[in-house]
A and B are shown apart, each in its own frame.
Chain A
Amino acid sequence: MDANLASIANAIRGKIGATSALSFPTDFVSALESIADCNEGIVADTTITVASTISNIPTTVYTDPILKTLDWYLICMYYIGSDTTSSMTLELFACTDISRSAIIYRNNSGTIKSSSGSSGSNAYLVVDDAGNIVIKAYSSTEGLIVGPYRLLILGGI
């Protein structure tokens, strides 16, 4: 596991501060998928679409009890839709085996903008004690979260 975490850390190291939301997930996913020689792997690779404009209230987007059984995991979620006026949401965080509530990284590198492009809301992900992945979004005026998103989870024990 240490070697894999080191690989992930190196992948993240080169991407911190990246301004391009498009290159980050692509490269990050590539880094994740290149990790081999271990029992860890892709826990989930899903497409999700958020139905409502859910600003300012936590919204569960994925639930899987397996997250409670993992010693560590990394999550990447990013916009894969075709609406070019929408910003890409990018979230990534890791959880170590010390405590599953110990989020060691959370990146909120982008905003979620409405299709009009006139406003947006900040958002990030958390995992609650039940293993639910929850979006928390905030906006002073409106919160329009467009989709679909790709949600990729890598984890292991």
Chain B
Amino acid sequence: MGYYKIVSDGYLYVVGTGNGGTPISEDEYNKVLQVIAGRPTADIGYEYWLREDLTWELVEVPIVDPTDEEISGEELLTMIKEVL
């Protein structure tokens, strides 16, 4: 089984099994999981991001306005029927 990590802008966001990103060893995978399990608790309005060097950085939660719309189940079925 392979392991991977996804790093961006100096932060490590995800580790996983398989081939979904940059390959890492099982040892590194387990080490990251251990660090994640020990993540500090942030106050409301803040959160911890994991740096690539496996240290935590406290950041303020960025505020955005989610604008994407969902569709209903009926709309889904209509769309599925159209492509069948």
Q: Given contacts A51-B14, A52-B11, A104-B83, are A138 and B64 in contact (CB under 8 A)? A: yes
Identify which of B66, B71, B81 contacts A106 (C-beta below 8 A).
Answer: B71
Are B33 and A49 in contact, with the CB atoms below 8 A? yes
How far apart are the CA atoms of A46 and B81 in the complex, in Å? 30
Give the residue of A9, A60, A144 whose beta carbon is less than 8 angstroms from that of B77. Answer: A9
A6 touches B20 (CB 8 A): no
The residue on B at minimum CB distance from A46 is B18
Q: Which residues of A contact B81 (CB under 8 A)?
A: 9
Q: A13-B77, A138-B64 are in contact. Are A61 and B14 (CB under 8 A)?
A: yes
Contacting residues of chain B (51-83) with chain A, CB-CB under 8 angstroms: 61-64, 66, 68, 70-71, 73, 76-77, 79-81, 83
Residue of B nearest to A116 (CB): B41
- Chain A residues with Cβ under 8 A from B19's Cβ? 44, 64
> How many contacting A-B pairs (Cβ < 8 A)?
137
Residue from the list B18, B47, B73, B79 in contact with A55, Cβ < 8 A:
B47
Interface residues of B in 18-33 (CB under 8 A from A): 18-21, 32-33
Mark contacts of A93-133 with chain B using CB atoms, 8 A cut-off: 1 yes-contact digit, 0 otherwise.
Answer: 01011100000111110000000000100101000000001
Number of interface residues of A (CB under 8 A): 51
Quick check: A141 and B12 within 8 Å, CB to CB? no
Name the interface size band of chain B: 35 or more
Additional 12 contacts, C-beta under 8 A, given A12-B77, A52-B50: A2-B84, A48-B16, A52-B12, A56-B61, A59-B14, A62-B14, A97-B83, A119-B44, A138-B64, A140-B63, A142-B45, A142-B47
The CA-CA distance from A115 to B6 in the complex, in Å, is: 24
Binding site for A on B (CB under 8 A): 6, 8, 11-21, 32-33, 35-36, 39, 42, 44-50, 61-64, 66, 68, 70-71, 73, 76-77, 79-81, 83-84
Which residues of A are in contact with B by a Cβ distance under 8 Å? Answer: 2, 5-6, 9, 12-13, 16-17, 44-57, 59-64, 94, 96-98, 104-108, 119, 122, 124, 133, 136, 138-144, 147, 151
- Complex CA gap A17/B47 in Å reads 33
Whose C-beta in chain A lies nearest to the C-beta of B56?
A: A52
Most B-side CB within 10 Å, residue of A12, A60, A119: A60
